[in-house]
Structure 1
Amino acid sequence: MQELSQPRRMLMPTTKRPDPVAPALILTPQDRGQALKAWLKRKDIPVSDFAAAIGIGRATLNRYIAGTKDLATAEQSIADRLLQAMGISDGEAWTLLSIPEDNRRTFRSFRPPPLGHGTVTRTLSDIRLEEPLFGSVALPAGTLIRVSHEGPALEHSVVRLPDGRLYAASAGVIAEGEQLGYLVSAHFAIRLTDAEPLQDQ
């Protein structure tokens, strides 16, 4: 009795994905993400390893790479760790990722010069609000807030709640979450196009 031969599985040739290429001109968060992706590929650094070095989840790093989150507006603490993990100077990273001038106050590291900007500003952090701040102080998304990590307790502290939102707690109020510091100042621009048109009397 002859055994029936099993049909042979066909092995399909695999096509290698082309290596990511940094955009020639970086204008958008997506371009910035592609530039970082190309840099990681050139350095042969896996995304998961880089995310671990920064101390953020791979999903969060993927959002930066995809451009759904803009690297230029990353919190100062994340930018500091990212720059340290890259091992290049703040200035080189600004050029590589085309970080706008307005964002360089927060997209910098605390490493000593010439790599970073030193520890003079370590007690202060600037945070660009991606969502409105609520609580004892209400501020719209897009506002740049400055928080202090040291010194005397001020009237309002800023807390990152477990759901990721930022909450301003007045003195004496305890909010569960990550204490980011005491609110020092807020800077935001009012776009005239959003304002009510002036009426002639």
Structure 2
Amino acid sequence: MARRRTEPNQNGAEAADLTATSSVNPQALHRGLKLQAWLDHRGLRQADLARMTGLTEMTISKYASGKTDIGSMRPASITKLLDGMYVSDTWAWKYFEIPVEQRSSWRSLRQGRMGPPVTTGPETFLAEFPVQGSGWMIPAQSLLTVDPADTDGGLQIGQFGGGYWIAKKEEQPAGAVLLGRFISSGPPA
């Protein structure tokens, strides 16, 4: 748990500062700050990550604040988190500084590739936000069809923060998660 303390700054005004109390493990707080930095870098909110992972927003909040240590996650939760982040176990071990001796138990349950389960064939979904791109504008609430198996060729739909972008793979915004090759768009059903 963090508590707020105030101290006068150079101008004599009170300045708030959060300090960790003894109930928050420093390593848990460090890992939580790294998770929050990952979110901030991608323009995502904790609610976005909760939606992407299937974990609750409260769970994500506890990890990001250090109230619950990411290093003590169970394999099922690790799998959800890493699938939602589109990262490998190895990447997560390094990023969250999971000790070597803990890595045999701090791992996902994935057998195959990282990320959400592989689907076959095109997928159609309702775009929550407008799809933008160079010369493109598809309104929010349109139906989009993508081929998630093809994240290399043609125009790609990428999701980042609270939006979608349509462009070639190399023209996607930094941190965008590729959803697949754009096939078509249409009005909501």
For the aligned pair, the TM-score class normalised by the smaller chain equals 0.3 to 0.5
| Higher strand fraction (1 or 2) | 2
Normalised to the residue count of structure 1, the TM-score between the two structures is 0.41
Greater relative contact order structure (CA < 8 Å, 6+ sep) = 2
